[in-house]
């Protein structure tokens, strides 16, 4: 069994401790930040797993590369790649939503919200429809991202 610990400076005064433990094929990871303590996949561990030394204040920044070599074949690798994909989709969804929003007046946006609740798709113009679609999609991909993160957190704890 091998263990690597990092101190990561987050929003609190005291740095958080992110731990990675390799035991055979299994990789587990813990973090003392509020998200980590509450069983959520946090940016500190995701960052390190992605090979980023950002925020690390302990002197073993180069160990990030070692943790990265622990990934292949682990459950964490799969879950992490699902999170990456979901993040890309979520970012694209937000972009589409913003673009769709820009082509609408605020009154249009309100109308779409109203129409969506009682008569989806009818009596709205193309731009309004595009916005409604983008909004639904953005919501769906956000949900997908949060499910992927939940799963990553689950597999990180072995
Ligand atoms: Zn954390």
Q: Give distance in angstroms: CA of 32 to centre of ligand 1.
A: 6
**pLDDT class of 141 with cuts at 50, 70, 90:** confident
**pLDDT one-digit tens code per residue, 64-85:** 999 999 999 899 999 999 999 9
- Burial state string for 73-90 with b = 16 or more CB within 10 A and e = fewer than 16: ebbbbebbebbeebbebb
Tell me how long the chain is: 158
**pLDDT one-digit tens code per residue, 10-61:** 888 999 999 999 998 889 999 999 999 998 999 999 999 999 999 999 999 9
Distance CA 61, CA 68 (A): 12
Verdict on whether the full-model pTM lies above 0.85: no
Q: Give distance in angstroms: CA of 139 to centre of ligand 1.
A: 25
- What pLDDT score does 118 carry? 59
Q: Give distance in angstroms: CA of 102 to centre of ligand 1.
A: 35
CB contact at 8 A, 132 and 116: yes
Q: Give distance in angstroms: CA of 49 to centre of ligand 1.
A: 12
Distance CA 46, CA 6 (A): 13
Q: Give distance in angstroms: CA of 7 to centre of ligand 1.
A: 10
Q: Give distance in angstroms: CA of 45 to centre of ligand 1.
A: 6
- Kindly report the average pLDDT of the chain as a whole number: 88
Q: Could you give the 3-state DSSP secondary structure of residue 91?
A: helix
């Amino acid at each position: 069994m091998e263990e690597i610990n990092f101190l990561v400076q987050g929003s609190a005064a005291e740095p958080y401790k992110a731990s990675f433990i390799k035991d055979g094929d299994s990789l587990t990871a813990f973090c003392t930040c509020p998200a980590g303590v509450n069983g959520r996949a946090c940016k500190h561990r995701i960052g390190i797993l992605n090979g980023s030394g950002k925020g690390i204040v302990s002197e073993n920044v180069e160990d990030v590369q070692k943790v990265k070599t622990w990934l292949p074949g682990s459950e964490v690798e799969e879950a992490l790649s699902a999170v990456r994909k979901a993040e890309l989709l979520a970012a694209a969804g937000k972009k589409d939503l913003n673009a769709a929003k820009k082509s609408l007046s605020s009154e249009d946006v309100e109308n779409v919200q109203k129409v969506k609740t009682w008569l989806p798709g009818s009596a709205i113009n193309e731009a309004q429809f595009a916005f409604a679609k983008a909004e639904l999609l953005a919501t769906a991909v956000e949900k997908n991202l949060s499910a992927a993160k939940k799963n990553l957190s689950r597999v990180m704890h072995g």
